[in-house]
């Protein structure tokens, strides 16, 4: 929607043949000729009836002002000068010199200047009205573009849809939209040259400008202050319109990404829900045969009369059945924790006694390890679920057993501050990369450093995290080559249900 026109532009609609430069010159000459003919006619009539100069001047105004309104400023100038010349000529013919009555000359000049001023003001008012109408049209287009973007299909990439919308709504020759996240350029309309490089350069060099000669507008598409793409258009638009279009494209990009994230999160939630259901079903299904196998192994051991080899096999069956039972219990607990089905039995628990119970349960794993125990307050009592806290500490210590260096010391600490008890298990082993420290507590995630060092399911730490969260606490890990690796769990002294 073009806005720029000279303040002296013609305000009326021209014939089709007036678009060429030669036709415009011919039209200019014709308009001036018609105005001069009207001036000569008025001068002749005034001279014939011997009207006074003020009367003739008023008639000249009736010619100059419509000429200015309908034709333009320069046509009004030509007609005004012709009025001065015509009046002077007819006055000389009547042998009345202009100097004989200076008031008449001054009156004529003043009225001509008034006519020229009126013509210029009217041209400017018409131009302003035209600009206002054009801006109103652009606002309507921007409103339509906004409405259509809100109705876009966000299941598909927004780039092709945006390029087509801009091209159709604003009636541009060509449009190119660059999506930096997908690294794709989407085109609409006809481009005489490939806009791919142009659109990418606008984004990479952050160049926003408007070229009046080529009609090309360039804008960096931003989300806040962050560039997310670019827009290149060719056609008649204002700089403000180009900037508004780029802003709306940035908002649409953000909506698409937010929608994609929501869809992904919902899909992950449903997947996790299905996975938890499957785990729960499997755990229940495994419990019965595992119990039968363990009972049979125990029965064989108590029967006696077994050879040493048979006794070793029975012991191995019993041990591995215990491992499978423990893993099944962990899976079942994980599923129930995620589904919020675990009943929390909060009771006062002595921290020293709790730690000793966990160490006793892991005595076989810790038989070849050096363990250091540091409890700041031996009399500390914590209101918590004994089973869940035991699972948390068991997982931390078991993790340290798996991954600590041979011969190194595992240090278990319990520190107390004003509001919480902080449990930590420290060991020396492979360093956990910074990128893995946030995700290591996610279910099924295993650090690339740990995955090849020991077997695991990636479930234990997620259970520990959920157990801490149920108590209103938090977990984190630190890892350094010199200081070693330490897993922490902070539990409030006053238990808060999640």
Q: Is the backbone of residue 407 left (phi > 0), alpha (psi -120 to 50) or beta? A: left
123 lies in a domain? yes
- Please state which of the ranges 79-93, 162-176, 355-369 shows the lowest mean pLDDT: 79-93
10 lies in a domain? no
Which residue in this structure is represented by tokens 């930096």? 180
399 with 357, same domain: the answer is yes
Domain endpoint, select from 263, 281, 314: 263
1 lies in a domain? no
Domain endpoint, select from 142, 170, 189: 142
477 with 424, same domain: the answer is yes
- In whole angstroms, give the CA distance from residue 336 to residue 417: 32
356 with 476, same domain: the answer is yes
166 with 298, same domain: the answer is no
Mean pLDDT, the chain, whole residue set: 78
Range of the structural domain that residue 322 is part of: 266-339
Express as a percent the part of the chain with pLDDT over 90: 21
Tens of pLDDT along 250-293?
A: 899 888 888 887 777 777 667 666 666 666 666 666 667 877 88
- Please state which of the ranges 302-311, 351-360, 385-394, 469-478 shows the lowest mean pLDDT: 302-311
Give residue 473's pLDDT.
92
Domain endpoint, select from 243, 263, 283: 263
397 with 277, same domain: the answer is no
333 with 360, same domain: the answer is no
371 with 469, same domain: the answer is yes
8 lies in a domain? no
Tens of pLDDT along 447-475?
A: 655 554 555 556 678 888 888 988 889 99
313 lies in a domain? yes
More confident residue, 433 or 97: 433
23 lies in a domain? yes
292 with 363, same domain: the answer is no
> Of 6, 94, 22, whose CA–CA distance to 56 is shortest?
94
361 with 484, same domain: the answer is yes
CA angle 78, 81, 84 (to 5 degrees): 155
What's 378's domain CATH number?
Answer: 3.30.565.10
380 with 290, same domain: the answer is no
Checking if the pLDDT of 496 tops 50, the result is no
186 with 290, same domain: the answer is no
Give pTM, 2 decimals: 0.43
- The confidence band for 13, taking pLDDT boundaries of 50, 70 and 90, is very low
What's 175's domain CATH number?
Answer: 3.30.450.40
Exposure string for 186-201, b = 16+ CB within 10 A, e = fewer: bbbbebeeebeebbbe
85 with 55, same domain: the answer is yes
444 lies in a domain? yes
Q: What token pair was written down for 230? A: 């670019």
Residues 6+ apart with CB under 8 A from 251: 149, 223
The predicted model gives 302-321 an average pLDDT of 80
4 lies in a domain? no
- Please state which of the ranges 7-16, 103-112, 141-150, 338-347 shows the lowest mean pLDDT: 7-16
Number of domains in the chain: 4
- The confidence band for 186, taking pLDDT boundaries of 50, 70 and 90, is very high
Residues 6+ apart with CB under 8 A from 136: none
């Amino acid at each position: 929607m073009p806005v720029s026109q000279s303040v002296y532009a013609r305000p009326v609609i021209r014939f089709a043949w007036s678009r060429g430069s030669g036709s415009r010159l011919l039209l200019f000459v014709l308009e001036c000729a018609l105005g001069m003919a009207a001036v000569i006619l008025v001068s002749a009539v005034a001279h014939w009836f011997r009207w006074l100069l003020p009367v003739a001047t008023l008639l000249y105004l009736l010619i100059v002002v419509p000429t200015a309104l309908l034709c333009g400023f320069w046509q009004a100038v030509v007609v005004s000068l012709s009025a001065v010349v015509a009046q002077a000529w007819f006055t000389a013919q009547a042998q009345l010199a202009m100097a004989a009555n200076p008031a008449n000359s001054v009156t004529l000049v003043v009225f001509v200047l008034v006519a020229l001023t009126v013509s210029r003001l009217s041209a400017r008012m018409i131009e302003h009205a035209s600009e206002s109408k054009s801006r109103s049209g652009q606002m309507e287009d921007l409103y339509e573009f906004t409405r259509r973007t809100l109705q876009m299909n966000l299941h598909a990439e927004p780039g092709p849809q945006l390029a087509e919308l801009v091209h159709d709504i604003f009636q541009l020759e060509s449009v190119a939209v660059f999506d930096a996240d997908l690294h794709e350029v989407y085109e609409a309309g006809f481009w005489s040259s490939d806009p791919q490089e142009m659109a990418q350069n606008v984004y990479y060099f952050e160049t926003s400008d408007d070229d009046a000669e080529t009609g090309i507008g360039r804008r960096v598409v931003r989300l806040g202050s962050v560039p997310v793409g670019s827009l290149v258009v060719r056609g008649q638009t204002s700089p403000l319109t180009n900037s508004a279009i780029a802003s709306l494209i940035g908002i649409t990009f953000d909506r698409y990404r937010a929608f994609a994230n929501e869809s992904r999160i919902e899909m992950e939630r449903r997947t996790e829900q299905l996975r938890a259901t499957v785990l729960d079903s499997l755990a229940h299904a495994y419990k019965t045969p595992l119990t039968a196998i363990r009972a049979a192994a125990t029965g064989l051991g108590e029967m006696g009369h077994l050879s040493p080899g048979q006794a070793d096999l029975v012991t191995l069956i019993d041990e591995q059945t215990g491992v499978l039972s423990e893993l099944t219990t962990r899976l079942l607990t994980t599923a129930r924790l995620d589904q919020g089905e675990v009943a929390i039995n909060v009771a006062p628990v002595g921290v020293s006694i709790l730690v000793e119970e966990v160490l006793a349960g892991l005595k076989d794993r810790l038989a070849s390890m050096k363990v250091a125990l540091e409890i700041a307050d031996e009399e500390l009592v914590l209101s918590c679920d004994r089973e869940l806290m035991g699972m948390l500490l068991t997982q931390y210590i078991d993790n340290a057993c798996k991954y600590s260096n041979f011969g190194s010391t595992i240090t278990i600490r319990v520190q107390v501050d004003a509001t919480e008890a902080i449990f930590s298990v420290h060991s020396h082993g492979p360093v956990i990369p910074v990128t893995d420290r946030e995700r290591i507590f996610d279910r099924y995630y295993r650090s690339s450093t740990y995955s090849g060092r020991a077997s695991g399911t990636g479930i234990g730490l997620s259970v520990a995290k959920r157990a801490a969260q149920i108590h209103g606490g938090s977990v984190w890990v630190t890892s350094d080559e010199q200081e070693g690796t330490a897993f922490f769990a902070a539990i409030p002294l006053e238990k808060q249900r999640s």
